[in-house]
Chains A and B, each alone.
Chain A
């Protein structure tokens, strides 16, 4: 290919604006940080006309809302959104930063119009966005992989069960990694019961019927069966402790199932979007958000010439228990911090909100129940 040469032709100066995007309705979520998702959206003229003609006079009393659905479980194989909350964004906004109260969660969103009667008309559905982890993983299982530049293409994974490393994620390595205290090892397939990134990611790589070689190592690299030296290395110089080893004549999907359980091989499931006009299910009405705009110019609060006033409220619930206890709110598990404390931030719409908490001790020999109802009857005068 010859090198391009100058033509002397003058080009128009850089445009003042970026090229016009095509007239389409869309909503995109982008994770920004562990507790923040950025959303941007566009409405096509046609879709705006459609919603105007459908709602007629009701549109004036309706709100443009960004409805966030937490789909963390759905992204890892479940199907049902765990919770949802609305953010009123106004008709002119085209982007928003959504502050979240939990890290490492997956959300899908709808942008649409919510009428005064509470019916929601979505205009666009988003992609699923997963926020990063803000701290160390709670899981300390150890799996090994051997990758060599040359060798047979066959994966092997060796799982060690060891004492939980004390702060393996902290400044130093885990104390139990010291050669003088070799890990207690066992042949553990299926040793990872909890859901998490590793399962999702490995499942994604595996595919339902992928052969063993589908775990593509780089073109010149291969994963090989564990050699004695490799096992010795993996086992902390104690190869005799390895109970199960050797090449695995399994598809990668089978390995994933053995490692992570049946759910591990499931691909991330798309969450069905609610049908137009469907009211928000009461069971998913938990959640809250502290909103701040991407830019002041995009956060307009009302129409010219008409005073606009809207109030939303949130409820902060907090408590503490023993760190190994299990806490449920309305039969949904509540995530405890390492010290046993917890907090929840929920949207506080009008109406009665049941707060049925129960806590089960770590040994399972004690249960405490706390039932209360929060009421938010806002008085409005037109």
Chain B
């Protein structure tokens, strides 16, 4: 009989980086790289686990900004163009390294993986990765939670309650459209929470959300079970706390698994290493080098002299690390179970893009971990938060503490010298949007959907939520790609101001609006302005419009490749 649970959570998010105005746009590569290196490999892991009859539960988010990009035909076309170029480059690399025994197998590996990625994207999933993830939710292995419309950092938006509600309700309704069911859980962007926010989540039909450890540990009254059981907020919404031990084992740059010397080195890419004339067709057309995704070296150690990557050794290490991770969770759960009157839950949330994109062997690690938990022990099981709440509907009542999972644990990353200038504008325009919705929406809501004023007020709301993404102040703080983040904030706030002025003056350039709608297309079929009313005057979409069903042939039975012998066991 198992003694406790592991809740593995993968937060999949990217800012909305769609740029139809340029044929090739550097930031769109963020999405393409994540598709190739994270989302498709994760789906492949899920496929194989299901095919092999492995019991597993994983919880993940697929934020609205990311989901809307995954569903966008333009970006889907561009991804195919992107992967075609990589296939071509990897083919050239196989020829170039033909006489180099250490690099040629790697070039062939990349060529094969890129071919497989394209095949999965085009043929298996028909370009729609949201549907691919949805299938595993419908199978019961995956629980996908909702998140804010554009990943707004809610503690900094709370000055305008309408802005917070719009982020939450728009995100929850978009989830209903995509996944055909009501969301049970919610991922607060950056785990940003303040007392009272749970009430907004409750209004949106949410049953649980996640906090960093100190959000639970500093709750009032002090939690009886530390982070090993959720607490109920006064609204009745449950808050699960992040476990710091499992977090450190994966996240820590010094002690974490991804820094192992046998794993692939992220920062040495042939886009930066090879002769410019040779690599030029595969980097940015403006002439600057970029990552290609082809990396031949392993971390090796704290040295500039890197040794060739050895996939077999890295795979072996991923299996050993999965075994070590499981062993530590077993001991942790055994210890906690002895102190509690219920089975403890260890909540281990990570950015999904860590697995595959940054930590190339991350998906293998998850694959091994799920198999080992299923086959090799009886101390713990994987679980989703809603399953845990069904087993333990009685939990302690407490008010979690304001917190985030960012640097220092509060708002220090999203409110400091490099980015604090944005907030007065966010707040001012948020108030203006709420005023516009209050004054104009009741008159516009019954007009035809193509009415220019109705379209304008909805586009104003889209521009505002696009400006509110937590990614922009985050980038400003990190110091990389800062001009792009500043441009995005100014661009969206500028378009918002133009629309707001036009609505008040009755002067809207329809052609200009159509172009803006095309460029900032997120939530194009939603009445976004209605979310700024108090309370939001929107009817949740009928979740039956995309009822759960299992696509025939999605999960193919396949002979197990890993269960006969698990390396590192």
* Residues of A participating in the B interface, judged by any CB pair closer than 8 Å: 1, 3-9, 11, 14-19, 21-22, 28, 30-34, 38, 40, 42, 95, 127, 130-149, 155, 157, 165, 168-175, 177-179, 192, 196-198, 200-202, 204-205, 215-221, 223, 226, 230, 233-234, 236-237, 294-295
Flag whether B396 is at the interface (Cβ < 8 A): yes
Q: Which of B475-518 contact A (CB under 8 A)?
A: 487-491, 493-494, 496-497, 511-512, 514-518
Tell me whether B449 and A1 are in contact (CB under 8 A).
Answer: yes
Q: Which of B396-413 contact A (CB under 8 A)?
A: 396-399, 401-403, 408, 410-412
Contacts of B516 in A (CB 8 A): 11
Least Cβ–Cβ distance between B486 and chain A, in angstroms:
8
Choose among B394, B412, B428 the residue that contacts A33 (Cβ–Cβ < 8 A).
Answer: B412
Flag whether B392 is at the interface (Cβ < 8 A): yes
**Whole-angstrom distance between the alpha carbons of A3 and B203 in the complex?**
30
Choose among A11, A198, A200 the residue that contacts B398 (Cβ–Cβ < 8 A).
Answer: A198
**Whole-angstrom distance between the alpha carbons of A177 and B223 in the complex?**
11
Tell me whether B235 and A205 are in contact (CB under 8 A).
Answer: yes
Contacts of A237 in B (CB 8 A): 341
Flag whether B91 is at the interface (Cβ < 8 A): no
Tell me whether B220 and A139 are in contact (CB under 8 A).
Answer: yes
Q: Which of B312-350 contact A (CB under 8 A)?
A: 335-336, 338-342, 344
Q: Which of A134, A135, A201 has the most CB of B within 10 A?
A: A201
Flag whether B217 is at the interface (Cβ < 8 A): yes
Flag whether B254 is at the interface (Cβ < 8 A): no
Tell me whether A137 and B525 are in contact (CB under 8 A).
Answer: no
Tell me whether B234 and A215 are in contact (CB under 8 A).
Answer: yes
Tell me whether B226 and A139 are in contact (CB under 8 A).
Answer: no
Choose among A22, A30, A169, A218 the residue that contacts B207 (Cβ–Cβ < 8 A).
Answer: A218
Contacts of B218 in A (CB 8 A): 132-137, 169
- Could you give 23 example pairs across A and B, Cβ below 8 Å? A5-B514, A9-B512, A11-B21, A14-B494, A19-B494, A32-B410, A38-B420, A40-B420, A40-B424, A95-B420, A131-B402, A133-B402, A136-B218, A139-B221, A144-B395, A146-B394, A147-B207, A147-B389, A169-B217, A169-B222, A205-B199, A205-B235, A217-B202
Contacts of A21 in B (CB 8 A): 424-425, 428
Q: Which of B237, B429, B515 has the most CB of A within 10 A?
A: B515
Tell me whether B490 and A143 are in contact (CB under 8 A).
Answer: no
Least Cβ–Cβ distance between B477 and chain A, in angstroms:
13
Least Cβ–Cβ distance between A172 and chain B, in angstroms:
6
Tell me whether B159 and A127 are in contact (CB under 8 A).
Answer: yes
Tell me whether B341 and A236 are in contact (CB under 8 A).
Answer: yes
Tell me whether A165 and B222 are in contact (CB under 8 A).
Answer: yes
Choose among B155, B203, B339, B389 the residue that contacts A31 (Cβ–Cβ < 8 A).
Answer: B155
Flag whether B196 is at the interface (Cβ < 8 A): yes
CB-based nearest B residue for A174: B224
Contacts of A168 in B (CB 8 A): 222-226
Contact with A along B413-455 (1 / 0, CB 8 A): 0011100111111011100000000000000000001000000
Choose among B156, B224, B232, B233 the residue that contacts A30 (Cβ–Cβ < 8 A).
Answer: B156
Tell me whether A294 and B417 are in contact (CB under 8 A).
Answer: yes
Tell me whether A230 and B339 are in contact (CB under 8 A).
Answer: no
Q: Ordered nearest first, which 10 A-B pairs have the shortest CB separation? A: A217-B236, A132-B402, A19-B497, A1-B525, A4-B517, A137-B220, A197-B220, A139-B221, A14-B491, A143-B397
Flag whether B301 is at the interface (Cβ < 8 A): no
Tell me whether B341 and A233 are in contact (CB under 8 A).
Answer: yes
**Whole-angstrom distance between the alpha carbons of A139 and B219 in the complex?**
9
* Residues of B participating in the A interface, judged by any CB pair closer than 8 Å: 20-21, 155-156, 159, 182, 194-196, 199, 201-203, 205-207, 217-226, 228, 232-238, 335-336, 338-342, 344, 389-390, 392-399, 401-403, 408, 410-412, 415-417, 420-425, 427-429, 449, 487-491, 493-494, 496-497, 511-512, 514-519, 521, 524-525
Contacts of B206 in A (CB 8 A): 218
**Whole-angstrom distance between the alpha carbons of A53 and B43 in the complex?**
69
Tell me whether A19 and B493 are in contact (CB under 8 A).
Answer: yes
Q: A31-B402, A136-B218, A177-B225 are in contact. Are A11 and B232 (CB under 8 A)?
A: no
Tell me whether A145 and B236 are in contact (CB under 8 A).
Answer: yes
If over half of A's interface residues share one DSSP class (helix, strand or loop), that class is named, otherwise mixed; here it is loop
**Whole-angstrom distance between the alpha carbons of A5 and B515 in the complex?**
8
Contacts of B339 in A (CB 8 A): 172-175, 177-178
**Whole-angstrom distance between the alpha carbons of A309 and B191 in the complex?**
44
Tell me whether B221 and A137 are in contact (CB under 8 A).
Answer: yes
Tell me whether A220 and B205 are in contact (CB under 8 A).
Answer: yes
Contacts of B335 in A (CB 8 A): 172
Contacts of B344 in A (CB 8 A): 173
Contacts of B217 in A (CB 8 A): 136, 169
Tell me whether A216 and B203 are in contact (CB under 8 A).
Answer: yes
Contacts of B424 in A (CB 8 A): 21, 28, 40, 42
Tell me whether B425 and A295 are in contact (CB under 8 A).
Answer: no
Contacts of A137 in B (CB 8 A): 218-222, 401
Tell me whether B220 and A144 are in contact (CB under 8 A).
Answer: no
Tell me whether A146 and B393 are in contact (CB under 8 A).
Answer: yes
Least Cβ–Cβ distance between B112 and chain A, in angstroms:
35
**Whole-angstrom distance between the alpha carbons of A132 and B220 in the complex?**
12
Q: A95-B420, A178-B338 are in contact. Are A216 and B226 (CB under 8 A)?
A: no
Q: A30-B415, A201-B196 are in contact. Are A11 and B515 (CB under 8 A)?
A: yes
Tell me whether A218 and B494 are in contact (CB under 8 A).
Answer: no
Tell me whether A7 and B514 are in contact (CB under 8 A).
Answer: yes
Contacts of A236 in B (CB 8 A): 341
**Whole-angstrom distance between the alpha carbons of A228 and B335 in the complex?**
28
Tell me whether B494 and A6 are in contact (CB under 8 A).
Answer: no
Choose among B159, B226, B238, B396 the residue that contacts A144 (Cβ–Cβ < 8 A).
Answer: B396
CB-based nearest A residue for B183: A218
Choose among A18, A33, A141, A294 the residue that contacts B410 (Cβ–Cβ < 8 A).
Answer: A33
Tell me whether B224 and A9 are in contact (CB under 8 A).
Answer: no
**Whole-angstrom distance between the alpha carbons of A226 and B335 in the complex?**
29
Q: Which of B236, B512, B518 has the most CB of A within 10 A?
A: B236
Tell me whether A132 and B236 are in contact (CB under 8 A).
Answer: no
Choose among A11, A14, A141, A143 the residue that contacts B512 (Cβ–Cβ < 8 A).
Answer: A11
Tell me whether B395 and A33 are in contact (CB under 8 A).
Answer: no
Tell me whether B221 and A40 are in contact (CB under 8 A).
Answer: no
**Whole-angstrom distance between the alpha carbons of A215 and B392 in the complex?**
20
**Whole-angstrom distance between the alpha carbons of A320 and B247 in the complex?**
38
Tell me whether B399 and A198 are in contact (CB under 8 A).
Answer: yes
Tell me whether B205 and A230 are in contact (CB under 8 A).
Answer: no
**Whole-angstrom distance between the alpha carbons of A175 and B390 in the complex?**
26
Contacts of B489 in A (CB 8 A): 18
**Whole-angstrom distance between the alpha carbons of A138 and B220 in the complex?**
8
List 5 other contacts, CB 8 Å, given A7-B514, A30-B156: A6-B515, A31-B155, A32-B411, A135-B218, A146-B394
Tell me whether A172 and B222 are in contact (CB under 8 A).
Answer: no
Contacts of A233 in B (CB 8 A): 341-342, 392, 394
CB-based nearest A residue for B429: A19
Tell me whether A34 and B410 are in contact (CB under 8 A).
Answer: yes
Choose among A5, A28, A148, A217 the residue that contacts B235 (Cβ–Cβ < 8 A).
Answer: A217
Contacts of A201 in B (CB 8 A): 195-196, 233-234, 399
Contacts of B195 in A (CB 8 A): 197, 200-201
Contacts of B420 in A (CB 8 A): 38, 40, 95, 294
Choose among A17, A144, A175, A220 the residue that contacts B394 (Cβ–Cβ < 8 A).
Answer: A144
Tell me whether B518 and A5 are in contact (CB under 8 A).
Answer: yes
Tell me whether B234 and A16 are in contact (CB under 8 A).
Answer: no
